[in-house]
Structure 1
Amino acid sequence: MGIFQNKKFRSAADSNTIAAKYRVKLARHPFLLFGLPFIATMVAGSFFLTPATAIRYEKYDRRVRRLSKEEELGIGKGGRKVDMKEEYYACWDTDANHDGQKLAAKDLDDWEQKRVKRLPGEHDGVI
């Protein structure tokens, strides 16, 4: 049984092309013909992409910037006026309770403590 050769068959027509000549020279000088152009491309790309990255961050900085105290105080001028008493009583005047009664601030003083029935087998916490 014969042994297969490591070399690939290349026809005579393929041996005269630029790619074939480059392939032969690449086998002799791999760093010079592959590594050096690759490193040069990476370094050049870094220099060319630096301004593009700077533009990106400058655009972000224009959008998000610190506000001065005057600007900060003027932000909410278009909103409604807030009255703390009105907000406090509005939260108690909701229909949130289940039996339909409306709560008021005076109802907080008039309450009764009721004991909740326990499930069977549950102890009262008294030892």
Structure 2
Amino acid sequence: MGTFDNKTFRSKRQQAAYERTFMGKYQSLIKKNSFLYLGLPMMLSVAFGSVILSKFTALRYEQRDEKVKELDEQQAMDLVTKKRKVDIKEEYYKLQGLMDQHENWEPKRVERLPGESDNVW
């Protein structure tokens, strides 16, 4: 902190006029009981804001949950009883997004030059 305070100089007449304003009255009340007039309203506003914001966030998550619906019994039984043949290569290509672009593509071994080892262990 510096040596000089940030208080503005007011003459006696200006100080008396300032004390009659809302800010002057409030400042004198804060000097008398700072917790009651400054701390308590601050804590109440934070608590009230927390309650209001929690309702907004709950609404947001409820809307997101509506997108994901629960399965009824018939849909669950269909998932359990429905068996399908799974081709691993097809699933692999689907995951990589290669199925649409290269439908008939298969990995092929590169031919070696004569005398070159195959590196088979």
TM-score normalised by length of structure 1 = 0.47
Q: Which of the two has greater helix per residue?
A: 2
**Which gives a bigger RCO, structure 1 or 2 (Cα 8 Å, sep 6+)?**
1
